[in-house]
Structure 1
Amino acid sequence: MTSFVFVTGNANKLKEVQAILAAGNGDITVTSQSVDVPEIQGTTQEVAIAKVKVAAEKLGSPCVTEDTALCFEALGGLPGPYIKDFLGNLGHEGLNNMLKGFNSTKATALCTFAYSPGPGQEPILFEGSTEGNIVPARGPNAFGWDPIFQPVELGGNRTYAEMAGEEKNKISHRYRALEKLRAYLSEKAQKEKKDN
């Protein structure tokens, strides 16, 4: 059995992560804890590494942090890892307005899970992405920018917010990154079992 602390204060993120992991073989348990970590400027990868290193030091245990980016093709990848601030300041309509005058509404949803085996150890990154388009908000406004992101998969005619949780979890950027983390941790647990 492998376990780690998922560093988040977001109950929706925790619920989604637990649901995705439960669909696997069930050998990974996740608890969560909110830890104050610095939000540095940089690429998604740089932000993820800095956060998980600080979290591992503060917790003194294996932990995982998650960083989500929404990268608009027309804006050269922005808002990227700063989507939370952009969404908070502009709202869904403001994010759509940023693309007025551009020929592309294409966007990539990117999730980066950073895993630290513990304090002082080098983090490992697991990334997943989903391609889609930015559209006027549709569906429940329960989870960040889900109402304006319409993935091209599954017919490409519904936003994340319009999908049932199980359906979204099969194609989401979070699922794809988490599946890589799950595979890594399962392999690590099997190797440790064999070595003992």
Structure 2
Amino acid sequence: MSVVFVTGNAGKLRETNHILAPTGIELTSHKLDLEETQGTIEEVSIAKAKAAAKILNKPVLVEDTALGFAALKGLPGVYIKWFLDSLGHEGLNKMLAGFEDKSATAWCTFAYCGGPDEDVLLFQGTCEGTIVPPRGENNFGWNAVFEPKGYTETFAEMSEETKNAISHRFKALEKLKVFLAEKAEQSK
């Protein structure tokens, strides 16, 4: 089974393909400049999936990630990309400087849309952790400042295998894999 993953982020594509590899599901990527809807992660994901399915006229998969700080009642949330671009890793830490609570939740939502005018299905995963000073490679989003609960390394310091076995993306993809396997079986 082949699905178009709408992303221009090589890191997301690589990580998603790595996690899905054992299933035989083939992801092809297609970069689209989709309008960024404001709202919850669910609203953003649904809007992106519907828009992509309409443009490409085929089944699509989109992904959105959020990182919410408990001390800031869930902010920056779905806006983490813009916060990171504007403030950098150090700036994310400075946002929490006045708070004892450095806990955070990472969310990943994959949205699957079977085509134009089809309903969108959401597959979500979360990972609890702590915001720490940057450690490890700073080459993939906010990985260098997120230390998952129960671990002493940030996502950026972990091996790909370890991260891909515990991350919010992995947990969302586990749910998506079940759906896609059932869909592939039905199409036989």
TM-score (norm 2): 0.98
Q: Give 1:54 shift.
A: 0.3
Secondary structure of 1:89's counterpart equals helix
CA–CA distance in 2 between the matches of 1:102 and 1:43? 24
Residue 92 of structure 2 corresponds to 95
Give the Å deviation of 1:150. 0.1
**One-letter amino acid of the structure 2 residue matched with residue 175 of structure 1:** F
The CA RMSD over aligned residues, in Å, is 0.8
Deviations 1:17-57 (A, max 9, x none): 100001x332x110000011110110000000001100000
Q: Percent identity?
A: 57
CA distance in 2, matches of 1:136, 1:14: 26
Q: Which runs of 5+ in 1 are unaligned?
A: none
Q: Which residue of 1 aligns with 2:12?
A: 13
SS in 2 for 1:137: coil
State the number of aligned residues.
188
Q: Report deviation, 1:188.
A: 1.6
Q: Which residue of 2 aligns with 1:164?
A: 159
Distance 1:150 1:51 in 2: 29
* Correspondence for 1:175: 170
TM-score, reference length from structure 1:
0.94
Q: Distance in 1 between matches of 2:88 and 2:118?
A: 38
Give the drift of 1:100.
Answer: 1.2
Q: Does the CA contact (< 8 Å) of 2:23 and 2:177 recur in 1?
A: no
User: Partner residue of 1:29?
Assistant: 26
Q: Look up the equivalent residue of 1:103 and give its one-letter code.
A: E
- 1:118-175 Cα offsets, whole Å, 9 max, x none, are 111010000000000000000011101000000013xx21000000111100001011
Aligned residue type for 2:132 = V
Distance in 2 separating the partners of 1:25 and 1:93:
38
**CA distance in structure 2 between the partners assigned to 1:89 and 1:11 by the alignment:** 21
1:192 deviates by 2.8
